[in-house]
Amino acid sequence: MRVHAVRAIEEGEEITSAYTDVIKSSIFRQADLEPYDMVCTCAACSKGNESDIARVMIQFYDLARDLNPENKSLEVALRELELLEMEGLECIKMYRDVLEVVTDLYIEEEHKENAVYYGKKLYKAQCAIGQGDRYSKYRDLDGVL
Ligand SMILES: [Zn+2]
């Protein structure tokens, strides 16, 4: 098994593997784990309500963007990205989607420093799932913009 990190890992930090859909609220995640006779004690499950509310907000932002794809607000996307990172959800597709929206919006705004910063994060996240080649343009934004 090969594991790629999409964010920095602190020394001694536990690396976990999901047995359920990590965007679900804790009560549903715990129910999914019952057949395995497991009780999850990860940071999100330990936070309970606080984490559940953040995950509902993440899903709401994504739904709002899906309902109106023309309305890609940088402010909203950055808030969603912050929530995804706070919840440690860099592993899900939504994280990569939001990173792409943020990077593209900074490119449109010709904000080079932020476009390069988020472009590198996007490239790294795509590399982690073996899609780096398709996103190589985001790796070198420094030389393009
Ligand atoms: Zn958990």
In a domain, 35, yes or no: yes
In a domain, 38, yes or no: yes
In a domain, 17, yes or no: no
The total domain count for the chain is 1
Q: Given CA atoms 116, 122, 125, 131 in this order, what sign does their dihedral have?
A: negative
Range of the domain at 72: 26-144
CA-CA distance, 125 to 116, in Å (whole number)? 14
In sequence order, what are the residues at sequence separation of 6 or more whose Cβ sits closer than 8 angstroms to the Cβ of residue 90?
Answer: 6, 7, 84, 125
In a domain, 9, yes or no: no
What is the CA(17)–ligand 1 centre distance, in A?
Answer: 9
Q: Which residues surround ligand 1, an ion (CB under 5 A)?
A: 40, 42, 45
**Which of these, 91, 85, 116, lies nearest to 103 by C-alpha position?**
116
pLDDT in tens, 93-124: 999 999 999 999 999 999 999 999 999 999 99
Ranking 34-43, 62-71, 107-116, 133-142 by mean pLDDT, the lowest is 62-71
What is the CA(60)–ligand 1 centre distance, in A?
Answer: 21
**Full-model pTM:** 0.84
In a domain, 2, yes or no: no
CA-CA distance, 87 to 95, in Å (whole number)? 11
- H or E element that contains 87: none
What is the CA(121)–ligand 1 centre distance, in A?
Answer: 25
In a domain, 15, yes or no: no
Residue type, 15: I
